[in-house]
Amino acid sequence: MATWAGDGLPTGLMERGQASAVLGAVAADVVASARVLIVGDQPVLQNVIRMACGASLHLEVAAEVASGREALDAYRFLFPDLVLIDLSLPDMSGVEVARQLRREVPRPRILMLSGRTEAETLFESIRAGVDGYLEKTAGVQQVVAALERLAAGERLFTPDQERSAIEGLGRLARRAREASDISPSITPRELVILQLLGEGLTMQQVANRLGVSTRTVEAHVAKLYRKLDASNRVQALAKAADLGLIELG
Domain residue spans of the chain: 3-162, 182-242
Q: Are 147 and 52 in contact (CB under 8 A)?
A: yes
CATH 1.10.10.10 matches 182-242: yes
CB atoms within 10 A of CB 95: 22
| pLDDT the model gives residue 7 | 45
Q: What is the pLDDT of residues 64-103, one digit of tens each?
A: 999 999 999 999 999 999 999 999 999 999 999 999 999 9
Strand partners, 190: none
Pairing of strands 34-39, 82-86: parallel
List the chain pLDDT tens, one digit each, 249 residues.
554 433 445 544 444 444 344 333 333 333 458 999 999 999 988 899 999 999 999 999 999 999 999 999 999 999 999 999 999 999 999 999 999 999 998 899 999 998 876 777 888 888 888 999 998 888 899 999 999 999 999 988 877 877 776 676 667 666 767 767 777 888 989 989 988 988 889 999 999 999 999 999 999 999 999 888 888 888 888 888 877 888 776
Strands (E), 5-108: 10-11, 34-39, 59-65, 82-86
* Residue of 100, 60, 97 whose CA lies nearest to 80: 60
Q: What is the CATH number of domain 3-162?
A: 3.40.50.2300
